[in-house]
Structure formats: C-alpha cells, structure tokens
Amino acid sequence: MENRLYLSPPHMSGNEKKYIDLAFESNWIAPLGPNVDKFESTMNEYLGSHYAVAMTSGTAAIHIALVMLDVKPGDYVLCSSMTFVASANPVLYLGAEPVFIDSEHNSWNICPRSLEKAMQNLEKKPKALIVVDLLGQSADYGEIKKVCDKYNLPIIEDAAEALGAKYNGIKCGTFGEYGVFSFNGNKILSTSGGGMLICKTKEQALRAKHLITQAREDAPYYLHTEVGYNYRMSNIVAGLGIAQLGILEDRVNKKRFINKCYQEKLKDISYIRFMPEPEWSYSNRWLTSILVDDDSLLTPTEIISELEKNNIEARRLWKPLHSQPLFEKNKYFFDNESVCDSLFESGVSLPSGTQMTEKDIERVCNIIKNIKK
C-alpha cells in the first residue's frame, strides 16, 4: 500500500522547536507570556494595524466576539449555512438563535441577496452576522457590506480557513467588527490547536483579554463582576504560531500550486468543475474542492471511497447547517433555489497538504480518472 495522503495535515517549518525551547528554558509554560505577545504582534504586523488576541481555539474567538456584541438569549445571529458547525455553535452557547443564509454560486460564500431577504423578513433585527470565508476563499465583502451598512449590522468574519487569502487585495480577517482565525491541526498554519480574535480597537482587545482570563478584575485579591472564560493561549502553543507565521506565504503559494496542478491534470474530465475564484478573490486554496456533475453517474461518496481504498483521504463539503438535525428549528434564507444544498450534494474536497508532491497529485488524479461506473 502506498503512503497515506491526508486532506490537510500539519506541516511544521522546522523553527517551532526554537520557540518551544525558549519557553522551557525560561519555565514560561503557563498561559500568556512572551511567545503569546510575539505571536499577537507578528499577526498585527501581517494584517496591518489591527489588534490580535490569541486564544485556545477559533471557536473560543467566535464566542468572545458574540459576547462583546452583547448577544443574549433569544437574539438572532445570522450565519453562513455552508460551514463547519463551529461557526454557529457559540451562538447556541449564548442561548441565541442562529439564522442561516445561503451561498452564491460565484464564491460558495454568503449570497448578498439572501442576506437582504433575511433582513427584510425577520421580525426583529439580528445582533450580528457571521460571514465565513469558505475553504480559504473570501466572501464578497463589497456587496455584503452594502447590506450590513444599510441595516447597521456588525460582521464577525470567520476566516478560520482563510489566513493568507484576500478580497480585492485586502487581507481576510480584517473585514468585520471582529475577525477570527483557527490554528487547529488541519488549517493552513497549525499550532496543534489555537485561535486568534482580530479586533478593530485597543479597547476591544483589552476587553477580550479580560473576558478570556476569567474576567478577573484588577484588585489585590480575586474579584469578579461578570462571567469570564478560560480561553487564553498557552506560551508553548504560541511558540508554534510564531514559527508558522514565518512561512505563511510559502504555504499559500504551495496550496495554490496544488490547486493549479489538479486543475491541469483533471481538465479533460468534463463532469468535474473546480471551486471558482472570482476576480476579487485571492484564495489560499486551503482545500482544493470540486463539484461532480449529476450526469457523470458518479457520486462524491463513490469518489471518496475509491480514494480511501487507495489510502487517500478526501471528504464531502460541509453539510449545510440549516439541514443539520441540531438546527432543524432554525430559520434559513435563500434566493430562488438553495445553492449550498446543491454544493453539498456534488462537492468533494481533495487532499491538499502542503507536503504533497506533483507525483502525489498525479496519483490522486489517476484514481479519479480511472473510476469505473
């Protein structure tokens, strides 16, 4: 059996140990510490003058953003339907109600027309909109912001999958009132687990730091006036993050190269279409993803199981959240036909790990080309 090809495994740069050793040498093993400060400041440098706050996960960062937007039980929070459950789970933590919005064909991200429809039809104003930059591709912020400005609706940009991606040259993670990144094991950069909240102002960043440190007040004893959380990133984990950020550009280039190779090698298969990249998008191509046309007689599940027989990991696109049993009572808005349901029915994400060679890509493509019906 040939070596296993994973969907998107962690890929260390070689410099990570240096920062971990520093933490050990100074015995700074606790949360916070110099690596965390440096990870945050390096992130700020990368993004421009924003305020980054490192956390235990991307999910924690979404949760804190919602708390800071004063989301309360019974409130509506709009959210992309085509996403991982972690985008919407924090809405449930607060007893609020996610309302799901369909995708557009162009980017597979939130459809501005469906968003407008939701705003016109909901009986009360939502507290926030969680926009996902799916599979490393920016949403159409020009159009989305028009709607949000009209209704004065704050955006939380869930850029968990999109570090290194851009919209019209502007970096993902900087479009909303808050931006969110994840560094879990399968993301373009991994710290084993971790996340980052990007704030617009220093005051927001200080408040986020307060909330993730059990909301401990500045007093000579333990004093608490509100609910807090234990969401601080550890100094060891942050060491991985500093080293990983140093090679972000290489990783984006490699992911884009992998995508280009797949497109080249599968170009003669008429029933396969690739995730589009609109002219305003510069995707980090986190996971190269395809749609399999109905007339191919092949299903995504058949392709995935054939690849699995050959020790290759591939997976379906996210099952839209509005169709998950967890959210069966939640509202869902779409324009004419539900786009994200059709993406789910025919979509497959192919292995896209940055250690892949051209030969590995060839191996995946040959299996796909030779599947017999």
Ligand X SMILES: Cc1ncc(COP(=O)(O)O)c(C=O)c1O
Applying CB under 6 A, the residues found at the interface with ligand X are 57-59, 83-84, 86-87, 132, 158, 160-161, 182, 184, 195
Minimum CB–partner distance for residue 159 and ligand X (Å): 8
Minimum CB–partner distance for residue 181 and ligand X (Å): 8
CB 194 within 8 A of CB 56: yes
DSSP 320: P
CA distance 108 to 277: 10
- The structure tokens listed for 256 are 């884009």
Give 22 or 347: the residue with its C-beta nearer to ligand X. Answer: 347
CA distance 138 to 145: 13
Give 33 or 179: the residue with its C-beta nearer to ligand X. Answer: 179
Distances (CA, A) of 7 to 182, 319, 355: 17, 17, 11
Minimum CB–partner distance for residue 98 and ligand X (Å): 13
Minimum CB–partner distance for residue 296 and ligand X (Å): 28
Give 112 or 179: the residue with its C-beta nearer to ligand X. Answer: 179
CB 363 within 8 A of CB 307: no
In the bound state, the residue with its beta carbon closest to ligand X is: 58
Instruction: Output the CA angle 146-150-156, nearest 5 degrees.
Output: 65
Minimum CB–partner distance for residue 27 and ligand X (Å): 27
Give 159 or 261: the residue with its C-beta nearer to ligand X. Answer: 159
CA distance 37 to 34: 5
Give 198 or 368: the residue with its C-beta nearer to ligand X. Answer: 198
Minimum CB–partner distance for residue 62 and ligand X (Å): 6
Give 54 or 304: the residue with its C-beta nearer to ligand X. Answer: 54
CA distance 38 to 224: 28
Give 59 or 114: the residue with its C-beta nearer to ligand X. Answer: 59
CA distance 183 to 175: 19
CA distance 106 to 117: 18
Measured in residues, the chain has a length of: 373
CB 314 within 8 A of CB 300: no
Minimum CB–partner distance for residue 80 and ligand X (Å): 8
